[in-house]
Every structure is written in structure tokens, then in C-alpha cells.
């Protein structure tokens, strides 16, 4: 620019710069931006393969494409005009103005670049979180090992991780001291950990339950002293409905610290019952009758077949152990099968002459105690009649009234 010495040449160069700026800024630049937008859209559609449509649609509703394109074109035109102005000022020897304006332009350009990168990064993180959620849904649909609770929790963890990384990167772009923030977050984490130990314990136990999967929603379980159906599993608590219709909430840290019995996991459940027969009855005959009764009950599975075995000697009866399976295992099937078995076995045993004895107790006394008790009883009876009195040797003597 300094080689142009005459005023006429400077005017001609200035006019050329203005015409080139107008031609590029008003004609070529909008078309180039639209072409770049179409190419980028096609590439993103191939890359995402149909994922992330919800987040992209949400961003389009918040910031329409036409507005974003106009804004981008305007920013680029402003930058182009600023460069043209700097060239013209340099052409006319106004370096002082350029030097004075250059720091302001650099700051504006830096802030604009940081804002653009921040918005671009946050938008990409938002789309990426939606893409990860849909990816987890596809993975859950192709696998039977991932439950709905695990799918939801895993999606939320991945989304939070992506947003946290994006937030830290944005803070780094704006020059925020991350070391001080991390130290403060560390102290805050210690304080919260001391103040909410039980809550954090339930939170960690929720992750353990998510991966260990001792039960699922709808399972019939027994956790400690609570028994019922699992209705919901959250990151903090396990919700149950017991057989009385009561709503039970058990913190996850208590769930992981107690014995868990899942009666629905195997798809079937074995039931034990005991019945006693008299010592004079035939155990084999009674076992055959009981087995025949069990095979006739609809709620009892036939594979494996029910069986009855003599299991021991009771105080008043020979004990028979009845073992049978219900499939699928439900409390209603268990109660119905046991009640039906009791009614039918009692009837069949009565028809076959097999007794179900009552508990019996025999009380005996030593011989000396028996003789003394009889003597005392005889003396008291004679005293009550008023006919005689007991003698010293325990014999009664008649005396006149």
C-alpha cells in the first residue's frame, strides 16, 4: 500500500477495495455459507445415522437455521469490512488510527471467537447427549441383560459426563482457573460426604444394585423382614408392595446389607409341607395317597413331579414331608396349592382309615408318690363325710359320734 503515491491511484485502489468487499460480502459470502451449511448437514446426517434428531430439532426451534445463517453471514461481512477499512487506512497513511483501533479489534475478535467456540461446544455436547441416549436404547433393545432401570441410569450418567466435560472445556476457553475450582470442589465434596454419609451410601448402593441385578421390577422378593413385589428401583431407594397392600420403601444401603431372597428369578418355587400319621398306620400307603393328591392339583407343576417321603418321628406321629413345585411362583399359587392339599389329603386319609393324630401327653408318677397321694385323698374324703378321722398310720377307724 505504501508504493501507491498519487492521490488518483489511492482513490482507484480504494474504489477497487470497496467494490471487491461489496462483491465478496454481498454476493459470494452468503452463497458460500449456504453451500457449506448443506455440505455440513449431509455429513452430519450420514455420521449420526438418524440419531440425535430430537436435540437437533430442539436447537432448530430455539435458534432457527435462517437466523443462524444470517447471523454468521453478518459476522463474516463485518470482519471483511473491518479488514477493508484497515487496508484503506493503511493506504492513506493513517497508521495511528490503525494502531489505536487494533487492540480493540483484537479483543473483540478474541471474545467473539471464544463465544462462538463455547456455543459450538455446548451445542455439540447437547446433541452428543441425545445421541448417547439413543445409542443406549438401541443397545438395550438388542440385549436382554440391560433392564429399563439400567438403561435410564446409564444414559443419565453418560449425559452428565459429556456435559461436565463440555463445561470444563468452556471454562478453560474463557481462562477460568480450574485448579482453584477443583480444590474448592474437593473440599465441598468432603463436607458433603461427612454430612450426608447415609445418602451417599444409598447412592453407591444404587449403582451396586444396578450392576449386580439381584432383582428386577415385578419380582417377588424378601429383603430382611420385608416381603412383597418390587414396584420401582431408584438410585436411592427400592419400592415394594407387600401382601397387605402396604407401600414399603427400603433405602438401597439397607438392601445391600441384608439377605435378599428372590422367589421369581428361577421361574418356579418348591413348597414344603408336613403331615403326621399315627404310629399304627402304614407310611408307604400314606405317602402314595398324598402323592396322588398332589398330582391332581392344578396349581402344582408336574415336572418335576411332587413326591412324599417319611422325614422323622414326631412326639405323637410319623412325619411325612410333602415337596412340590409351583410354576410360575406367585403368592396366590402358593397359598392355593397348600390349602387345596390340606383339604384333599385330610379327606383321602379319612377314607383310607389313616389317622392324623392329635398331640398326646402322658403324665406318670413314681410309685411312692402315688401311694401317698391315694392315702391323703382317702383321709380327706373321710373327713368330709364326718364319719371317721385318719389315724396316724394312715388307716381309718370307726368311732361313735
Could you read off the pLDDT of 75-96 as tens digits, one per residue? Answer: 777 777 777 777 777 777 676 6
- Is the same domain home to 238 and 298? no
DSSP 292-315: HHHHH-TTS-SSSPPEEEEEEE-S
**Any domain includes 334:** yes
More confident of the two residues 248 and 257:
248
**What's the pLDDT score for residue 398?**
44
CA distance 177 to 190: 21
**Any domain includes 399:** no
**What's the pLDDT score for residue 343?**
93
- Is the same domain home to 219 and 314? no
Residue spans of beta strands (DSSP E) within 194-256: 220-223, 226-233, 237-242, 247-251
- Mean pLDDT computed over 47-62: 63
- Is the same domain home to 190 and 133? no
pLDDT band at 242 (very low <50, low <70, confident <90, very high): very high
The number of distinct structural domains making up the chain is 3
Mean pLDDT of the chain: 77
Query: pLDDT tens for residues 273-300?
Result: 999 999 999 999 999 999 999 999 988 9
CA distance 400 to 382: 14
Inform me whether the pLDDT recorded for 392 exceeds 50: no
- Is the same domain home to 16 and 76? yes
Q: In degrees rounded to 5, what are phi and psi of residue 274? A: -125, 140
Q: Which of 104-108, 178-182, 305-309 has the lowest mean pLDDT?
A: 178-182
Which pTM does this prediction carry? 0.51
**Any domain includes 368:** no
CA distance 316 to 357: 7
**What's the pLDDT score for residue 83?**
77
273 contacts 341 by C-beta, under 8 angstroms: yes
- Is the same domain home to 158 and 73? yes
Give the chain's largest Cα–Cα span: 175
- Is the same domain home to 139 and 167? yes
List Cβ neighbours of 52 (8 Å cut-off, separation of 6 or more). 127, 128, 130, 131, 134
Give the number of other Cβ atoms within 10 Å of residue 243's Cβ. 12
Amino acid at each position: 500500500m505504501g508504493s501507491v503515491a498519487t492521490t488518483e491511484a489511492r482513490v482507484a485502489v480504494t474504489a477497487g477495495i470497496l467494490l471487491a468487499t461489496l462483491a465478496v460480502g454481498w454476493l459470494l459470502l452468503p452463497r458460500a455459507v449456504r453451500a457449506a451449511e448443506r455440505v455440513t448437514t449431509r455429513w452430519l446426517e450420514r455420521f449420526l445415522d438418524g440419531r440425535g434428531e430430537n436435540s437437533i430439532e430442539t436447537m432448530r426451534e430455539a435458534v432457527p437455521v435462517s437466523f443462524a445463517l444470517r447471523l454468521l453471514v453478518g459476522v463474516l461481512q463485518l470482519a471483511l469490512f473491518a479488514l477493508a477499512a484497515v487496508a484503506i487506512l493503511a493506504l492513506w497513511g493513517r497508521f495511528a488510527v490503525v494502531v489505536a483501533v487494533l487492540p480493540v479489534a483484537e479483543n473483540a475478535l478474541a471474545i467473539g471467537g471464544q463465544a462462538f467456540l463455547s456455543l459450538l461446544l455446548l451445542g455439540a455436547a447437547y446433541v452428543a447427549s441425545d445421541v448417547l441416549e439413543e445409542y443406549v436404547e438401541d443397545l438395550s433393545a438388542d440385549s436382554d441383560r440391560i433392564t429399563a432401570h439400567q438403561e435410564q441410569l446409564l444414559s443419565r450418567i453418560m449425559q452428565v459426563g459429556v456435559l461436565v466435560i463440555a463445561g470444563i472445556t468452556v471454562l478453560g476457553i474463557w481462562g477460568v482457573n480450574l485448579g482453584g475450582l477443583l480444590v474448592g470442589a474437593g473440599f465441598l465434596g468432603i463436607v458433603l460426604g461427612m454430612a450426608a454419609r447415609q445418602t451417599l451410601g444409598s447412592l453407591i448402593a444404587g449403582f451396586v444394585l444396578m450392576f449386580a441385578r439381584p432383582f428386577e421390577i415385578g419380582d417377588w422378593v424378601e429383603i430382611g423382614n420385608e416381603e412383597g413385589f418390587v414396584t420401582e428401583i431408584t438410585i436411592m431407594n427400592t419400592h415394594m408392595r407387600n401382601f397387605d397392600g402396604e407401600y414399603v420403601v427400603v433405602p438401597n444401603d439397607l438392601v445391600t446389607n441384608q439377605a435378599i431372597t428372590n422367589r421369581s428369578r428361577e421361574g418356579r418355587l418348591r413348597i414344603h409341607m408336613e403331615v403326621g400319621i399315627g404310629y399304627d398306620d402304614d407310611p408307604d400307603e400314606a405317602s402314595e395317597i398324598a402323592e396322588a393328591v398332589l398330582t391332581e392339583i392344578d396349581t402344582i407343576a408336574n415336572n418335576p413331579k411332587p413326591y412324599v417321603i417319611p422325614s422323622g418321628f414326631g412326639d405323637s406321629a410319623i412325619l411325612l414331608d410333602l415337596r412340590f413345585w409351583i410354576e410360575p411362583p406367585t403368592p396366590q399359587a402358593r397359598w392355593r396349592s397348600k390349602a387345596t392339599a390340606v383339604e384333599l389329603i385330610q379327606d383321602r386319609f379319612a377314607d383310607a382309615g389313616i389317622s392324623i393324630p392329635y398331640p398326646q401327653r402322658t403324665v406318670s408318677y413314681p410309685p411312692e408318690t402315688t401311694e401317698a397321694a391315694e392315702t391323703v385323698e382317702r383321709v380327706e374324703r373321710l373327713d368330709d363325710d364326718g364319719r371317721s378321722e385318719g389315724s396316724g398310720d394312715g388307716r381309718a377307724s370307726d368311732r361313735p359320734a
